[in-house]
Structure 1
């Protein structure tokens, strides 16, 4: 024997689920989602502190993305044929294979956090010099930036 109202509750619940699904399907009125939208990348704040050693240097910058998600897959430069991506976790450096660039978000490379590590330098760059760096993205391709060499104690303004 069925309890009264069970069928009514099932129909009401099903109707609510269908309405929710239709509402969600209507989101993104341009027909695209952040995952499939084209990335729109801009790099700002790039700099390299003047290296204290002849063999190693670090690099910093911010990638701002006003479009869909992308991934920074590698970096290259004539300054070093051994250029890698690093993160800092729990006070220790770790080499990374790639970094996600979130849709409508930023990827920061800053002192004490994510950074580029230039090893086996072809020469020791001096303050005022500009180092050319190619950033390779999965969807956006290659972007070349000029990374000015700043004083070893340079601290960028915060707040982008």
Structure 2
């Protein structure tokens, strides 16, 4: 190998190392995934949405809002002392999860533009303080669907 080839090889190796480091440099940032998402088939002009958001990152995040084409008013609700109330956000802890489930914290779709039927999917956009927007499809299940009973 001559000097020119050695310098070029070193430059390519350095560029590759920097590129790989760049991919991993955000390891502290939130890394969000969603599972268990569903919407029970609504029986009136409102519907609930349920899912689990997992954060494998070392930094916490916040779910700040939810949007969907099925409703202009998607709210984030918490349940305290068996009472439902709208909240501005939910924390998604670092290396933890946020569970939105029946009988607990959940999404609430107000004044539905149309009633989705079992077997369809409702697309939502989850808006996070740090991670940005995450699109999720909620499969529409039977009105009495409860994964805890299966």
- Give the TM-score, by structure 1 length: 0.74
> In structure 1, what is the Cα distance between the partners aligned to 2:134 and 2:108?
18
Find 1:65's aligned residue among 49, 55, 59: 55
> In structure 2, what is the Cα distance between the partners aligned to 1:99 and 1:156?
22
> In structure 1, what is the Cα distance between the partners aligned to 2:28 and 2:96?
13
Residues 107-155 of structure 1 deviation map (CA, whole Å, 9 limit, x = unaligned): 0000010100001101011000100000000100000000000001111
> How many residues in Structure 1 have an aligned counterpart in Structure 2?
122
Aligned to 1:95: 86
Structure 2 residue matching 1:121: 3-state secondary structure: coil
> In structure 1, what is the Cα distance between the partners aligned to 2:79 and 2:148?
21
Aligned to 1:108: 99
Structure 1 residue matching 2:66: 3-state secondary structure: strand
1:56 aligns with 2:46: yes
Q: Is the 8 A contact 1:70 1:100 kept in 2?
A: yes
> In structure 1, what is the Cα distance between the partners aligned to 2:51 and 2:106?
8
> In structure 1, what is the Cα distance between the partners aligned to 2:38 and 2:141?
7
1:118 aligns with 2:112: no
1:37 aligns with 2:28: yes
CA root-mean-square deviation: 1.2
Equivalent residue runs for 1:123-142 within 5 Å: 123-142=114-133
Structure 1: tracts of 5 or more residues without a match: 1-35
Residues 46-75 of structure 1 deviation map (CA, whole Å, 9 limit, x = unaligned): 00001111x100000000011021000100
1:83 aligns with 2:55: no
Computing the radius of gyration from Cα coordinates, the structure with the larger value is 1
Which portions of structure 1, spanning 4 or more consecutive aligned residues, are displaced by more than 2 angstroms?
none
Structure 2: tracts of 5 or more residues without a match: 1-26
Structure 2 residue matching 1:80: 3-state secondary structure: coil
> In structure 1, what is the Cα distance between the partners aligned to 2:39 and 2:50?
6
Aligned to 2:147: 156
